[in-house]
Amino acid sequence: MKHWRVEQVSWDRFDPSKVDPEIVPLVKAAAMVERNGDDYAIYLKRVFRGDPDFHLAAENWALEEVQHGDALGRWGEIADPGWNYAEAFARYRAGYKIDINADASIRGSRTGELIARCMVETGTSSYYTALAEATEEPVLKEVCRLIAADEYRHFKLFYDHMKRYLAREDLSFLQRLKVAAGRIGESEDDELAFAFHCSNEDPSTPYSHDRCIAGYMGRAMNFYRFRHIERGMGMVFKSVGLEPRGRLSALAARGAWRLLCWRRDRFRAALLQEAAPALAQAA
């Protein structure tokens, strides 16, 4: 059912001279979150009890997400030979758990759950596209391109199921917008920050959300270009039932780009501040 396999990637083309050290911690952290996809499938199957079509789709989806983790984890181990993907993931799994014992969606409805999934896939599709375009390292470029294509297919998958549920549940435009905005706002929660901690920091270092989200976002946001945000905004608009390529979407994309640049600069300032004592010590 998968569209590609980890073994098919041209791992022997790895070129250490092309590795950007700013990308390595991001790849290692992303591997954690992706690998955790199977837990999310358990939750989705509980929320969509009695919908066998969706159950099958969620199972296949999770296989692909786990494979994203494995491919990124393998690249992380090659780029940083001292790093152990399995060990880092065991730490992540032990410390970060999503509540899989749900009887209903935490988004209030099945349509809402699917809109939230569309937001996540919009984010990952844009992110891996940005990383694929930014990196000069051929293996990472290949892996990110393959993952980005999967993420876009995932978006379409959840979007199609969302349309099916929307016809039954009839969520208002404002309700849809609220779920979408809420899920986008969660991108700076613990899921990624804790993944950054487990994959990049020593177990003896206590976890700090602020330090780790700055470590992640301060690097990740640097790789986005306006075109990625523009395309992503089109997908957000489509998910909530607005015209994806209209004037409003263009306006929102410009606003989101400004917001991203402002957040990026703040996170980078925090990163520099974090590095300052270490640099002073080294000098």
Q: Which residues bind Fe ion (CB under 5 A)?
A: 34, 65, 68, 121, 151, 154
- Residue (28 or 154) nearer to Fe ion, CB: 154
d(C-alpha 170, C-alpha 75), whole Å? 44
> How far does CA 13 lie from the centroid of its chain?
26
| Half-sphere exposure in the Cβ direction for 73 (13 Å, CA) | 23
Q: How far is the CB of 152 from Fe ion (least distance, A)?
A: 9
Nearest to 98 by CA among 47, 49, 22, 164: 47
Q: How far is the CB of 197 from Fe ion (least distance, A)?
A: 20
d(C-alpha 5, C-alpha 237), whole Å? 32
Q: How far is the CB of 274 from Fe ion (least distance, A)?
A: 28
Q: How far is the CB of 48 from Fe ion (least distance, A)?
A: 17
- Residue (154 or 228) nearer to Fe ion, CB: 154
Q: Which residues contact 13 (CB under 8 A, 6 or more apart)?
A: 138, 139, 142
- Residue (216 or 257) nearer to Fe ion, CB: 216
Q: How far is the CB of 67 from Fe ion (least distance, A)?
A: 8
Task: Give yes or no for a contact between 189 and 216, defined as CB atoms under 8 angstroms apart.
Answer: no
Q: How far is the CB of 157 from Fe ion (least distance, A)?
A: 9
Q: From the CA atom positions of the chain, what is the Rg in Å?
A: 19
- Residue (151 or 175) nearer to Fe ion, CB: 151
- Residue (34 or 142) nearer to Fe ion, CB: 34
Structure tokens at 135: 């990196």
- Size of the chain, expressed as the number of residues it contains: 283
- Residue (34 or 137) nearer to Fe ion, CB: 34
